[in-house]
Structure 1
Amino acid sequence: MKPQRSEPTRLHGAEAPEATQRRAFTGGSVPVAVYGLGKMGLPLAAVYAAVSGNVTGVDIDEDVARAVDAGECPVEGEPGLPETVRRLVADGSLSATTDATASAAAASVHVVIVPTLVEDDQPDLSTLEAAVRSVGAGLDAGDTVVIESTVPPRTCRDRVGPWLEAESGLELGEFGLAFCPERTMSGRALRDIRGSHPKVVGGADDESARVAELIYGEITDAEVITVDDCTTAECVKVFEGLYRDVNIGLANELATLSGEFGVDVTEAIEVANTQPFCDIHDPGPGVGGHCIPYYPYFVISEFESATPLLQTARHVNEYMPEYTVDQAVDALSDQGRDLGDSTAAVFGLTYRPGVDETRASPGVDVAELLADRADSVYAVDPVCTSSPPSGVERVSLDEIGARELDLAVIATAHDEFVEIPWEAFDDLVVVDARRQLDADAVPHPVSRLGDGSDER
């Protein structure tokens, strides 16, 4: 049976000593609602529940809410999360519902971590707006709203604040608003939330920042960095993704020049990185996931100033799947063969090893391009549960050895691929776009991204 809760304690504008407020938060008298129970939201709700003992998770998906409320974990691939959710639901610290308005009316801290999608290179804030307006409908004076969703800079100032004011009839200052960006990775979310990286908080005013710092001082064991305002915190999160996209774009562009250089570009990058100020990323067949490929559009599409560097990096990274297929064409041609007459296999559809996520994945793009040009195409991925692209046949690791292949493309460096008995294939050409394999140990021609094998 879930414990009965007394009148909620509100932290924003509270006159009690800060130590008393911290005890209230960790003692369960500050009810929390977490809106969004996806891959990042459910781990966050679980950590909040473990610390505060009084969390309601909210999700529009009835199956998700029902599963969590029953102690089940609909998010896969997160070590420790299923047993954590089961324990927290059993002891009454965590519950779940689809009723956002009722949850907002009961909570005094509201944490929004719903996705920000990009459609036609434009950020789509409709999901965020729906969640925020639901919060606003139940908002009381003294409540605090925390946005963890990644958003374009100025979203809290120009959109979230006005949405909350319009729905609640309150003015900012009567309630708190802070932006505290999610800084986690799939497959390690619980660990990241509890302290792998410093937590960034930015408030719409000083009191909002104070409350956010208080809350996250309990949530994380890492340093809490308080910045000037919500917009600065929003920029921090977006800049992290922009840095990686631009850096990877540099590495990828250098890789496309390896043939003209006549050198192994990755070797040169590795040695260049021995200089302390140099940190060039590794090249690859593209950039995938729900973050890095999209964040540039939070700036490119939202602001008037020209952004040629961001746009160029995006162009380079979006071109890499095509470059990988062109490399396959050249590798086959070197053996006197044609892609149009070949049977190809793409090893890896997920964007990251060991993570079941195919959003913007280069492996999917490579498979689609090969399906348009090769005679037949297989896809092999030990963790992916999504269907392969049209024209591509899914084959298990155990089955692929029995297929007659002309071409193998390593698009994702799953650990399982190192153990593939490559000698079982006859007359195979391998394109290792992740540079995972030891070319000397594979008894077939191996072309690795950026190795200078297409020297001109």
Structure 2
Amino acid sequence: MTRRAGGMAEVGASTPLYGAGPDDEVRDAIEGRDASVAVYGLGKMGLPLAAVYAARVGDVIGVDVDESVVESLNGGDCHVDREPELPGLTTRLVEDGKLRATSDARAAADAASVHVVIVPTPVTDAKEPDLSVVDAVVESVADGLSPGDVVFVECTVPPGTCRDRVVPTLVERSGLDADEFGVAFCPERTSSGRAIEDITGAYPKVVGGVDAESARIAEIVYGYVTDNEVIRASDARTAEAVKLFEGLYRDVNIALANELGTLADDLAIDVREAIETANTQPFCDIHDPGPGVGGHCIPWYPYFVMSRVTEPTPLLRMAREVNDSMPAFTARIVERELGERDTPMDRARVLVLGVTYRPGVEESRATPAGPLIAELNHRGAETLASDPLLDHDAIASFGAEPVDVSELVRTDPDAVVVVTPHEEFDAIEWDGFDDVLVVDGRDSVGDTGHRTYTIGSGRR
């Protein structure tokens, strides 16, 4: 494949796949690495996906607006931390000329025949899906779209987005008819810390096209990406809903666990034990209670559905309310337990352990630590926080005084609240604390030698 300055493939050098002919002809193009791929978004999910595409399907141009990410990747470095296999794979693919990066989305669109969109889709303060980044990427793709190209959307979107939003934009800006290119929704089903494993086959891959030809091409292409089966949904809208339903199930299930967890004192039982025992029945699978639900998926997915339907959704709304209430419940437990030790909140020093939403993952979007810190401050506590994955500025932005992991004991807190049990906290020498109250949100600390309240289990 010929190149032009900067390592970009020349326009027209990539084989079109949509309407290319029988399945065997499409497979021949993929196996001959004649189909260039542009992956738009090189974040925690995007870079692993780009790497797998480069290893298995065709030469890949990764696109990102962050110039430092582009420079790092073109130097063979991996900017995504704590992702096994990815650093070595990235370096090898860049050295072999199969993976490169650019911030010029239009140039990447010109060069590629397969366009993979995997960019953030957050929720606004008004609880509406924010598709502005998706829109911008689709517009860039449209400016370089050629007949026979296919566009695969991997990031989470409301049902109907591909047919009602992506296709019209591509038609309007490219000047092509809708039957000259393909669009399919192919949701990522990936977790940080195991992205390569997940992409290449931990779960079946779901694809859904806006038409039969789009679905056919998506099924063939992802047959090379994954070692697992490819499930073809009836259409893109159904595939979009599948991705959301996975998250909605977890949100509702966790809400049940959290509501049960708040009843431990009233029922005078260890709710966690009851849940664990109930789950020995194969039809029961209740999740664990905790101080809240965070991340860029579960807390947002209900709004991708609720914002698009006219029917009431009381269960989805109530699940969100329950999960959003857990940081305040945790703060009330801290205040109550300290009060029984004659320590009022307005004279208490409270140390929060873990600010990211999940152990080992440098992501703090929608973390329950945020509202917990705000609630502790509102109740008058002096709030400190420690997280080995975040710098002091990031921690301070939540309203807590940052503390290094090595300095925890020296802070002399009245209470310690475990929100996110990073493995670095396993080395804490609890004996060094002076008669501290421990509120364990995740049942993770074991016997600390101090009075401990575990959410869902109560005092011990």
Choose from 330, 352, 356 the match for 2:362.
356
Paired residues of 1:9 and 1:29 also in contact (CA < 8 A): yes
Query: Which residue of 1 is the match for residue 411 of structure 2?
Result: 403
Query: 5+ unaligned residues in a row in structure 2: which ranges?
Result: none
2:67, 2:9 → 1: CA distance?
25
1:186, 1:37 → 2: CA distance?
13
Aligned length: 451
| 2:274 matches 1:268 | yes
- Secondary structure of the residue aligned to 1:358 is coil
**C-alpha offsets along residues 6-55 of structure 1, whole Å, 9 cap, x if unaligned?**
8321111112x423422321322101111111111111111101113411
Choose from 237, 257, 280 the match for 2:243.
237
- Aligned in 2, Cα 1:91/1:53: closer, same or farther, shift over 3 Å? farther
- Aligned in 2, Cα 1:235/1:25: closer, same or farther, shift over 3 Å? same
Q: Supply the AA of the counterpart residue of 2:402.
A: R
1:443, 1:315 → 2: CA distance?
35
CA-CA distance at 1:452 after TM superposition: 4.0
Q: Supply the AA of the counterpart residue of 1:416.
A: E
2:100, 2:47 → 1: CA distance?
11
- Secondary structure of the residue aligned to 1:122 is coil
TM-score (norm 2): 0.95
2:319, 2:8 → 1: CA distance?
53
1:220, 1:26 → 2: CA distance?
14
| 2:63 matches 1:58 | yes
Paired residues of 1:260 and 1:452 also in contact (CA < 8 A): no
Query: Which residue of 1 is the match for residue 389 of structure 2?
Result: 383
CA-CA distance at 1:453 after TM superposition: 4.2
Choose from 423, 438, 447 the match for 2:453.
447
2:448, 2:359 → 1: CA distance?
21
Query: Which residue of 2 is the match for residue 213 of structure 1?
Result: 219
Query: Which residue of 1 is the match for residue 40 of structure 2?
Result: 35
Choose from 175, 182, 187 the match for 2:181.
175
Q: Supply the AA of the counterpart residue of 1:72.
A: D
For 1:77-116, what aligned pairs fall within 5 Å after superposition?
77-116=82-121
CA-CA distance at 1:340 after TM superposition: 1.3
Paired residues of 2:149 and 2:181 also in contact (CA < 8 A): yes
CA-CA distance at 1:374 after TM superposition: 4.0
CA-CA distance at 1:448 after TM superposition: 0.7
1:77, 1:264 → 2: CA distance?
34
2:423, 2:136 → 1: CA distance?
40
Which one is further off, 165-174 or 28-37? 165-174
Paired residues of 2:109 and 2:145 also in contact (CA < 8 A): yes
Paired residues of 2:451 and 2:459 also in contact (CA < 8 A): no
2:377, 2:386 → 1: CA distance?
14
Q: Supply the AA of the counterpart residue of 1:159.
A: R
1:147, 1:53 → 2: CA distance?
18
Q: Supply the AA of the counterpart residue of 1:169.
A: G
2:337, 2:403 → 1: CA distance?
23
**C-alpha offsets along residues 181-213 of structure 1, whole Å, 9 cap, x if unaligned?**
010011111111111111000011111111000
CA-CA distance at 1:4 after TM superposition: 7.4
For 1:15-414, what aligned pairs fall within 5 Å after superposition?
15=21, 17-120=22-125, 121-385=127-391, 386-414=394-422
CA RMSD of aligned residues (A): 1.7
Query: 5+ unaligned residues in a row in structure 1: which ranges?
Result: none
- Secondary structure of the residue aligned to 2:29 is helix
| 2:426 matches 1:426 | no
